[in-house]
Amino acid sequence: MSGDLRRLAELIRERNATEVEITKIVGRPAQIGHIGEYIASRVFYIALEQSAVHPGIDGRFRSGLLAGTSVNIKMYGKREGLLDIHPERLPDYFLVLTGPMSTSMDSRGRTRPWSINEVFLFEAGPLIDRLRDRGVKLGVATSVRKAEWDAARIYPGSPNAPLTLTGTQQDAIRLFKLSSPQSLR
């Protein structure tokens, strides 16, 4: 038996132990989507739906300008310009947490770390209208133009951001940013 196979088995055991600890915190399986929902619920004051499979809506904002509006939360290991959209079950907003911008569509030899480098808030209705006007097919991997992503970015903030984050929210997001993304290509 090869040393690589033994080392892989050891690393998987370590990962499984870590996933048990993460599950204890988030209350759901340690998958990137559930973890993203948990983080977003804490940072953005979102009351999550009881069921993790509620169609199209993960929760509702509890306070601030968006109080009461529905949200679908996405967490992606990399920003690739794609958004999972189910047009028959639209929330009021999509809140998207992403890792670093992808530099290649080839995944060979590259990692997909769980980090938050950017956060985006898309108002669903107007976004869908613009995508349909352009003839974009809506679905699991809907292609969204860079300009749309730039306009929706709320972290790091910009003068035209659709939502301004508090210092506490920004500090919380920074906890999940990779310290050295180059080491995890």
pLDDT of residue 96: 98
Give the dihedral sign, CA 4/31/65/93: positive
Residue 104 has pLDDT above 70, yes or no: no
Half-sphere exposure of 176 (CA within 13 A, CB side): 26
Mean pLDDT (whole number) for 75-87: 92
Mean pLDDT (whole number) for 137-160: 93
CA 104 to chain centre: 19
Average of per-residue pLDDT values in the chain? 90
Measured between alpha carbons, how far is 22 from 18 in angstroms, rounded to an integer? 6
